[in-house]
Each structure stands twice: as structure tokens, then as C-alpha cells.
Structure 1
Amino acid sequence: MVGGYVMALSMSRQNWNLRSMRSFVVQRYLRLVIPYLGAIALAVSSYLVARGWLPDSVVGEPVSLPQLLAHLFFLQDILGYEQLSAGLWFVCINFQLGLVYAAGLLLRDTLARDKAPFVGLLGWLLAAFSLFYFNLNEAWDHWWLYFFPYFFMGIVIQRAVHVGRSSREFWFYQLLFVAAMVFEWRWRLLSASVVGFLVFSSLRSGWGQHWPHSRTISWIGNASYSLFLVHFPVLVIVATVWTRMDWTTPAGAVVGLVLAFALSLLTAGLFHRWIERPAGRLGRR
């Protein structure tokens, strides 16, 4: 949901053509894939250290070349390969949704002016169809259609807040979520609906622009993608050390958890500075 809002905020007011579409694909790929591959390298290295000490469900099978190539193109779930680290599926879905949204903007700007509003209607139809079909079947959770209703809520919020449209569109979309939950209950829909309401209400009231600023929170926000990528390899290393030293008491587990948290933040800061930020500059160039 937040990803849809941010993409709509940064992309919707541009004029899209084939050249801008090509630039977006290259930039988005480099922005995501370079840190993603760095995280895979960290994860695979941590598995080498942990193998024999942690369960196979954590360290997985030895990496194969086809598996690595599938990860390179964000296709591991689609092709049935095991993920090389926790959470990498989200990067794949994020890339798919970015491509779909950019394609929608390209379609909007290449249609005749009187036909462009039909692109927005297409988004509504896709979201509704997903809520009542694709999102009900977890076999679809490696495709963008499964997650599109959450993403589209962010787009609806951006239109209601920044494009000057009536808030009725947002409330009608919330009612569509309620109808989907009545049709078949899903906690994930309630979560997206609540977060969507919080973002929408904070932006409409102005609180979102004036909430207390914190350098620490801003730093964590800027490094959040790096933190998302590196925290699991850090957890694997700490768990391996704790297992080897037999520090398995509750107090030892708490110490290990606190240390893993601190090391994850430290690693994320270094990763953000030396890998993620250069990847972003390379993509823009």
C-alpha cells in the first residue's frame, strides 16, 4: 500500500513514452537488484558458516547456478526455486508492480485524451477481480495480481490527497475491501485497510506533513531497504554463534536478540552507504 502511494506520488505527473518507460525499467532494476544481490552474497556466506549448526530449514540446500540466475531476474518463485534469503519475494513483487504501474501510465499518455480515464477504471476492475479471485488463492502469491489491491489503495490515496479529487473514491474503495472481507475473511485485507486509513487521514488533516521530525527515524527510513535485506543474514550469524557456544538460556536468547538488532542496524547503515546509494546513482545515470 505504501509502495503504491509513493510510486503514484513520484511517477503519476510525468509524461510517459517508450523512452521514459525504458529508462524507468533500467533504473528500477539497478536500484533494486544491486543491493538485492549484495544481500544474497551475505546470506549465502552466512549459510556456509551456519551449515551443520542450524536446521536445514534455515540454511537451505547448496546454491545452484539455475537458482542464482532465476534470482537475478526476480523469477525464483515463478520458476519454483527456493529463496536464497528471507523476504526476497517482496523485491520480486515490488519490481512486478512497478512495471505494471509504469505500463499503465504509458497507456494513459498514449491514448486519446477522452479515453485516458479508462486506465483508472481498469485499475479498479483489476483490484476488484483480485480481491474476489486472485487474492483468495495463495498459489497466486508470486504474481503481482495477488497484491494489486493493496498497491492500488496507495494510488487511490495519492489521487484523493494530491490530485484534488474527492475523498469519496477512497471511502468507496474501503467499502470494496469491507465487501471482500465479508465475502471471505482475510487478516491481510484488514491490515491494508487500517494502514490505508491512517495514511489517508494523516495526509488529509495535514498531520503527516507536520509530525515531529527525528534524525534517527529519518536515517532508519532511508536505510530501510538495506535493513530489510541484511537483517536475516545477521540473524543467521548470531544464531550460529549462540548455538556453538550453547548460550540457549532465556537470558542468553534475549542478549542475542538485542545484539542481532544492533548489528542489523549497523550492517544496514554500511550497506546503505556503500551499496544501496551507489546503486541508485548508477540507475539514475
Structure 2
Amino acid sequence: MNVPSNSLFILALRALAALIIVAHHFALYAPLRDWAAPLAGDVLDFLARHARATQVFFVVGGFVAARTIGNRLWSFRQLGRFAVQRYCRLGLPYLAVVAIVIPIYAFARGWVPDDVLGSPVNLLQLLAHVFFLQDILGYEPLSAGLWFVCINFQLSLAYALILAGERRFGRGDGRWFLRLGWCAAAFSLFHFNLNPEWEAWGLYFFPYFFMGVLVHHAVQHGERRHFLAYQALLLLAICFEWRWRVVVAMVFATMLFVVEYAGLGQRWPRSRWLAALGRISFSLFLVHFPVLVLVGAVCARMGWSSPQAALAALVAAFALSLAAAAVFHRWVEAPATRLSRRFRPSLAPARPAGAERSTRLAFEN
């Protein structure tokens, strides 16, 4: 999803979430993490356990989707074009990362543990990645974070499919999706989301996406009761079985609601650095793991395995990840976004433009 420069809070959320995810992966994967442990083991252990923020991207994704495709009239014949658009937007950068990691893994093989690199790539595994099916079919992922693209693709298509069904069989006012969303979210929170074996399916992550949709409805249409009732449902789910990831989603969704409802999203926080990082956050999410593997392999080959050298290497890998993300965004993600616009379905507004609050942002999904 692309967020324009005036959506400052959305950009800041994306930037913060990306940084947390990078910190989590840097604290999780060998060999640099193991070598740096004598100096920063407690900090790395904390980040490995608690630095989880992928849910923030799903909340923001639901919020933006509700403001874009959720405010349009859909038909089933437009779904194919939408699928192509989403594949260009998400899949082309994803495939570029797959192409990048293969030579990096070949360089790192024997120097970085196999449980980080996985088995050597085979053709069926590669084909499964092309069609976003690697997790469903049980193939090893080629890079950390690729699963997110697959789930994002599932959720966006499912949302568009439900909206098309709503127009065909319902009243086209969004109520059908809300009722179905409540049922799906409750089923996921108390069953699907409790079993990690279902992580290959969008329904496992649907509660976070649906939360973003409810934030939009609360802000734009004054339906705060749905948002508050859903927060109560999430609290009940946490009491039923504790999940840190649900708490993270609740906290950031509440922040998003408060800021957007107050009309501050367009003007706060005013930080050029956060805004720039927010724009390249998807690229950073994709490229930081290959950079980490490459830096770890170089250090292993050079024999730089002291705690001091490993900690310096983690800092260097972070800086290189930011630089690589900026390059990747300019030469891969941005062209993929421009290409995806050619396949954007032509959709009529579901309601008059003046029916929404004057603080509406011009989001582009």
C-alpha cells in the first residue's frame, strides 16, 4: 500500500513497525546474534521475545483498505484485474528479493548455520514461492518476511471478494462484511489464532486486519461502538489465552483511532526521517534479512567472531539494510507500484464523496 506524504501518522506507524521487526530478526538469527550475546545477550533475548510488530502492518492494511476498496462498488468480474494489480504491487518486489537471496545463500552456505539458510533451493520450492504457496504446501521459506506478502495478498483478495458478494447479494452498504467479519474474527481469536499450524492462512491474521477496518468505520462513520465492542472481544480472547501479538495489535489500533479521530493524522508527527522511513518500510521489511545473512557470512569468512566485532556488525547490517531499502524502493518497489496502477479496477464510489468527514485522507492501496 502506498501512503501519501500527508498521512504522517500512518507513515510513522509503518516506520516504527518496520524497525521493531528488523530488531526482532537481528536478535533472533545466528551467527551474529550468538557472537554478540556475551555483550548484549539480555537485550537481544528481550527483542527476540517481545519485538513483534507485524500485526501493526495488518491493522494499517485493514484501515487503508477500508478507505479505498471498502468505499467502492465491486463486481465479481473486477476481481481478476484486482488480483493482477495486487500481484504487481506485492509480488514483483517479493520475487526480486527471492532472486537476491539465492546468490547470497550460495555465498553464505557453510558459514551461516543451515537452520538460518534452510536447504538448497529446488525448482518446486521456487515455483511455490512464485504463486505464494510455499507455506501452504510446506516448503521452506526463502527469506524471513515473505510469508507476510502471501497473507497480505490473501486478505486483500478476500476483502474484495466479500465486497463483490455484498453488492451482488446484499445492500452494498458494508453491513454484510461487518457481520461476516465479526464471525470470522471471533472464530479466529478463539480457535484458528491459537494454533501456529494455521499461520499459512489469512484467517489466522484476520483479527488484526478487521481491527483496522473497524478503526476506519469508527473514525469516518462514527461507529465507535463496533470498535469498542471489538476491543472488549480482544480482551476476552487474551484472558482466554494470553497472546502478546494481540496486545500489540490492540495498542497500535487504539493509537491509530485516537490520532485519526482527533484529526491529527495529517500533521503529526512532523518528522522527515520517520516519513522517509515509512515510505520505504515495505522495502526494509523485505531486504533486511538478506543483508543480515550477507554481513554474517562476511564476518564468518573473515573470522570476525568476537562479541565486539559481532555487535559492530549488527549495527553495520542495520545501516546497510536502510541503504539497501532506499535503493530497493527506488528501483524495484516504486516501478512495481507504477505498473500495478495500470491494472487498477475502475470502481464507482459506494457513497457520495461528501458523506465522509472533511479530514478524509487520499489513500492509495
The two structures have a TM-score, normalised by structure 2, of 0.75
For residue 222 of structure 1, what is the aligned residue in structure 2?
279
TM superposition shift of 1:18: 2.7
Separation in 2, partners of 1:197, 1:12: 21
Counterpart code for 2:130: L
Is residue 196 from structure 1 mapped to residue 264 from structure 2 by the alignment?
no
1:16 corresponds, among 60, 70, 74, to 74
- Corresponding residue for 1:182? 239
* Post-superposition offset of 1:116: 5.9
Indicate how the Cα distance of structure 1 residues 51 and 114 shifts in structure 2: closer, same or farther if over 3 A, else same.
Answer: closer
Matched AA of 2:94: Y
Q: Name the SS for the 1:207 alignment partner.
A: coil
Give the drift of 1:207. Answer: 2.7
Residue identity opposite 1:202 in structure 2: V
Residue 228 of structure 2 aligns with an amino acid whose one-letter code is: W
Q: 1:70 aligns with which of 128, 131, 139?
A: 128
Which one-letter code corresponds to 1:37 in the other structure?
L
Matched, 1:256 2:299: no
Shift of 1:250: 2.2
Q: Between the two structures, name the one with larger relative contact order (CA 8 Å, sep ≥ 6).
A: 2
Matched, 1:273 2:330: yes
Determine the structure 1 residue equivalent to 2:212: 154
Match for 1:160: what amino acid? A
Structure-2 separation of matches of 1:96 and 1:207: 31
- Residue type at the aligned position of 1:276: E
Q: Which residue identity lines up with residue 57 of structure 1 in the other structure?
A: D
Once the two structures are aligned, what percentage of the paired residues are identical?
54
Aligned-pair distance for 1:216? Answer: 2.3
- From 160, 169, 172, the equivalent of 1:111 is 169
Mapped pair 1:141 → 2:191: no
Mapped pair 1:122 → 2:150: no
What is the alpha-carbon distance in structure 2 between the residues aligned to residue 193 and residue 89 of structure 1? 22
Aligned equivalent of 1:48: 106
Amino acid at match of 1:31: R
SS in 2 for 1:210: coil
126-135 or 210-219, which moves further after superposition? 210-219
Q: Does 1:213 align with 2:261?
A: no
1:264-283, Cα deviation, whole Å (9 max, x unpaired): 11111111111111111112
Deviations 1:133-152 (A, max 9, x none): 11111111110111111110
CA–CA separation in structure 2 for the residues paired with 1:118 and 1:6: 19
Which 5+ residue runs of structure 2 have no aligned equivalent?
1-58, 343-365
The 1:236–1:223 alpha-carbon spacing in structure 2 relative to 1, beyond 3 Å, is same
Q: 8 Å contact 1:242–1:248 — kept in the other structure?
A: yes
User: Which shows bigger deviation, 254-263 or 94-103?
Assistant: 254-263
Distance in 1 (CA, whole Å) between partners of 2:109 and 2:173 is 58
Note closer, same or farther for the CA distance 1:109–1:228 as it changes in structure 2 (3 Å cut): same
Please give the alpha-carbon distance, in whole angstroms, between the structure 2 residues aligned to 1:43 and 1:161. 41
**Cα distance in 2 for residues equivalent to 1:119 and 1:54:** 46
| Alpha-carbon distance in 2 for matches of 1:262, 1:114 | 48
Per-residue Cα deviation, 1:39-93 (whole angstroms, up to 9, x for no partner): 0111111101101111111221111111000000100010010000111111111
What are the Cα deviations for residues 108-145 of structure 1, in whole angstroms up to 9, with x where unaligned?
Answer: 22224288623321111111111111111111111011
Runs of 4 or more consecutive aligned structure 1 residues displaced over 4 Å after TM superposition: none
Given residue 149 of structure 2, which amino acid in structure 1 is its aligned partner?
Answer: V
Query: What one-letter code is carried by the residue in structure 1 that aligns with 2:251?
Result: V
Structure 1 residues 167-178: aligned runs within 5 Å: 167-178=224-235
- Aligned with 1:62: secondary structure? coil
Aligned residue runs from structure 1 range 226-245, under 5 A: 226-245=283-302
Which of the numbers 90, 95, 102 marks the counterpart of 1:32? 90
Query: Which residue of 2 is the match for residue 166 of structure 1?
Result: 223
2:107 partner letter: V
Structure 2 residue 334 is the aligned partner of structure 1 residue 282: no
Residue 34 (structure 1) shift: 0.8
The alpha-carbon distance between structure 1 residues 95 and 232, as it changes in their structure 2 partners (threshold 3 A), is same
Distance 2:333 2:157 in 1: 20
TM-score (normalizing by structure 1): 0.95
Query: Number of aligned pairs?
Result: 284
Tell me the residue number matched to 2:145.
87
